[in-house]
Chain A
Amino acid sequence: MTEQAVHAPASLAQRVRGDFPILAQEQDGKRLVYLDSAATGQKPSSVIDAIDSFYRNSNAPIHRSTYALAESSTQLFEGARERIAAFMGATTETTIFTRNATEAINLVAHAWGRDPRTGNIGEGDVVLVTEMEHHSNIVPWQMLCRDTGATLDYVKITDDGLLDADDLAAKLAGGNVKLFAVAHISNVLGTVNDVKALVAQARAAGATVLIDGSQAVPQMPVNVAEIDADFYVWTGHKAYGPTGIGVLHGRRELLATMRPWLGGGDMIKVVNWNDSSYNDLPWKFEAGTSAVAEAVGLGAAIDFIAELGSENIRAHEHALVENALPRLAEIPGLTVVGPGAEARGGVISFTLDGMHPHDVGELLGRENVCVRTGHHCAQPLMRRLGIPATARASFACFNDTDDVDALIEALHKARKVFGL
Chain B
Amino acid sequence: MMDELYRDYILEHYKEPHHFGELENPDMQAHDVNPLCGDELGVHLKVDESGTITDLAFHGKGCAISQASASIASEELIGMKVDDVAKLDADWLIDLLGIEISPTRRKCALLNLKVMRGAVTGDASWPE
Q: Which residues of B contact A389 (CB under 8 A)?
A: 37-39
Q: Is the CB of A356 within 8 A of B64?
A: yes
Which of A356, A373, A379 has most chain B Cβ within 10 Å?
A: A356
When distances are taken between beta carbons in the complex, the residues of chain A under 8 Å from B105 are 358, 362
**Knowing A358-B108, A418-B6 touch, does A374 contact B1 (C-beta < 8 A)?**
no
Task: Give which listed residue, B1, B3, B40, B63, contacts A358 with CB less than 8 A.
Answer: B63
Indicate if B61 sits at the interface (CB-CB under 8 A).
Answer: yes
Q: Which of A374, A379, A388, A417 contacts B6 (CB 8 A)?
A: A417
Instruction: Known contacts A362-B105, A419-B11; decide if A374 and B37 are in contact (CB<8 Å).
Output: yes
A354 cross-chain contacts in B, Cβ below 8 A: 15
Task: Kindly state the separation between the CA atoms of A362 and B64 in the bound complex, as whole angstroms.
Answer: 11
Decide yes or no whether A359 CB sits under 8 A from chain B: yes
Interface range for A: 10 to 19
Q: Is the CB of B65 within 8 A of A359?
A: yes
Say if the beta carbon of A416 comes within 8 Å of chain B.
yes
Residue interface mask B1-38, A partner, CB < 8 A = 1: 10101100001000100000000000000000000111
Is A359 in contact with B6, judged by CB distance below 8 angstroms?
yes
Q: With both chains docked as a complex, state the minimum distance between the C-beta of A360 and any C-beta of chain B, in angstroms.
A: 9
The reply to whether B40 and A388 contact each other, CB–CB distance below 8 Å, is yes
**B residues contacting the other copy or chain, number (CB 8 A):** 19
**With a CB–CB cut-off of 8 A, which chain A residues contact B11?**
418-419
Cβ proximity bits B43-80 to A, threshold 8 Å, 1 near / 0 not: 00000000000000000011111010000000000000
CA distance A15 to B38 in the complex (A): 39
A227 at the interface (CB under 8 A from B): no
A358 and B37 form a contact (CB under 8 A)? yes
Tell whether, in the assembled complex, residue B3 and residue A374 are in contact, meaning their CB atoms are under 8 Å apart.
no
Cβ–Cβ < 8 Å partners of B39 in chain A? 356, 358, 388-389
A363 to B61, CA, bound (A): 19
Of the residues A374, A388, A416, contact of B36 by C-beta under 8 Å: A374
Question: Which has the most chain B C-beta neighbours within 10 Å: A355, A359, A388, A417?
Answer: A359
Which residue from B5, B38, B40 sits with its C-beta under 8 Å from A362? B5
User: CB-CB < 8 A to A357: which residues of B?
Assistant: 63
Q: A356-B63, A358-B63, A359-B65 are contacts. A388–B3 as well, Cβ < 8 Å?
A: no
In the bound complex, residues from chain B placing their C-beta under 8 Å from that of A375 are 37-38
**Which residues on the A side are within 8 Å of B62 (C-beta)?**
356, 388
User: In the complex, A355→B64 CA distance in Å?
Assistant: 7
**Cβ-defined partner of B63 (8 Å) among A359, A382, A416, A419:** A359
Chain A residue, CB-CB nearest to B3: A417
Question: Is there an interface contact between A374 and B63, defined as CB atoms closer than 8 Å?
Answer: no
CB distance from B39 to the nearest CB of A (A): 6
Chain A residue contacts of B108, Cβ below 8 A: 358
A277 to B1, CA, bound (A): 71
What CA separation (Å) do A363 and B67 show in the bound complex?
A: 17
How far is A373 from B37 in the complex, measured between Cα atoms in Å? Answer: 8
Q: Please name the 8 residue pairs, one residue from A and one from B, whose CB atoms are nearest each other, closest first.
A: A356-B63, A358-B63, A375-B38, A388-B61, A374-B37, A359-B64, A417-B3, A359-B63
Given A354-B15, A417-B1, A418-B11, 7 other A-B residues pairs in contact with their CB atoms under 8 A: A356-B39, A359-B65, A388-B40, A388-B61, A388-B62, A416-B1, A417-B3
Q: List 29 A-B contacts (CB under 8 A).
A: A354-B15, A356-B63, A356-B64, A356-B67, A357-B63, A358-B37, A358-B39, A358-B105, A358-B108, A362-B5, A362-B105, A363-B6, A373-B37, A374-B36, A374-B37, A375-B38, A379-B38, A382-B38, A388-B37, A388-B38, A388-B39, A388-B61, A388-B62, A389-B38, A416-B1, A417-B3, A417-B6, A418-B11, A418-B64
